[in-house]
Structure 1
Amino acid sequence: MNTRFAVATHILAYLAHAQGQPVSSEVLASSVGTHPVVVRRLMSSLREAGLVQSQRGAGGGTILARPPADITLLDVFRAMRESDPDIFQVGSTNPNAQCDLGGVMQATLEDMFGPAIEAMRAALAGITVAQVMQELAKRLPGACPGAAG
């Protein structure tokens, strides 16, 4: 299962929690529980989408490019799905076109999944990183090791 969206949301929430202080990929990787190289790859996509910016040099790292209230989870989803445009992988299947059922399966599933995909997009567009932070604050017992704030 692809975890890019969940990990990218985690990264953005951490950066929001850091309140403008640059955070290294090593610190982010520690919080996410993955390797810094994975974080750097995701950050490249987030940077291209205009969600984060990097600061080089001593004390450098990554910060949010926009306020948390201006970043929706749909923005994150779109940034992460560049390499995975077919959410349900319908286009990745290869049914037998000579079979009556196989010949119409992809188009049928695409038509049926379309409303679900649109509902998901609408739901994600209605949730901001700031709202994620509000929910996290309800559950946050204390700071993470290496966390700002």
Structure 2
Amino acid sequence: MNTRFAVATHILAYLAHSPGQPVSSDVLASSAGTHPVVVRRLMGNLREAGLVQSQRGAGGGTLLARPASEITLLDVFRAAQEKETDLFSVGSTNPNENCDLGRVMQQTLEGVLGNAIDAMRTALAAVTLDQVMQELATRLPEHCPKATG
């Protein structure tokens, strides 16, 4: 199962929870429970999407590139994907063209599932990282002023 979206959201939430403080990929990986290489690969995607920026040198690390209120979960989803993904792998199937059902199955599923994909994108576009942070705040202990690795 692909965890890129969940890990990318975790990374961005950590950065939003530590505003103005550069965070290393090792710390982010520790918090997300994944390998630093996974985080560094995702950081490249997030940087290309304009969601994060890096500071080099001593005390360097990664910061949000724009306010959490301006980052939607759809932005995160798109950045976390290697390419625009076929969520249901319909395009990856190879049905038998000599079969009446096989000839029309892929097109039928694409039509039916297209509405689900559109609904998912609309739902993700409606939620900002700031809203995720507000939801996280209801679950964080009051004595937890900032994220820790």
Bin for the TM-score computed over the shorter chain: over 0.9
- Structure 1 residue runs of 5 or longer lacking an equivalent are none
Amino acid at match of 1:147: T
TM-score (norm 1): 0.94
State the SS of the aligned residue for 2:82. Answer: helix
- Structure 2 residue runs of 5 or longer lacking an equivalent are none
Aligned to 2:66: 66
- Let me know the Cα RMSD of the aligned residues: 1.7
Identity percentage over the alignment? 74
State the SS of the aligned residue for 1:50. Answer: coil
Deviations 1:7-57 (A, max 9, x none): 100000000001121000000000000110000000100001010001100
Aligned to 1:40: 40
Q: CA deviation at 1:144?
A: 9.5
State the SS of the aligned residue for 2:112. Answer: helix
Aligned to 1:56: 56
State the SS of the aligned residue for 1:83. Answer: coil
* Corresponding pairs, count: 148
Q: CA deviation at 1:88?
A: 1.1
State the SS of the aligned residue for 1:21. Answer: coil
Matched ranges for 1:1-149 at <5 A:
1-83=1-83, 85-141=85-141, 143=144, 147=148
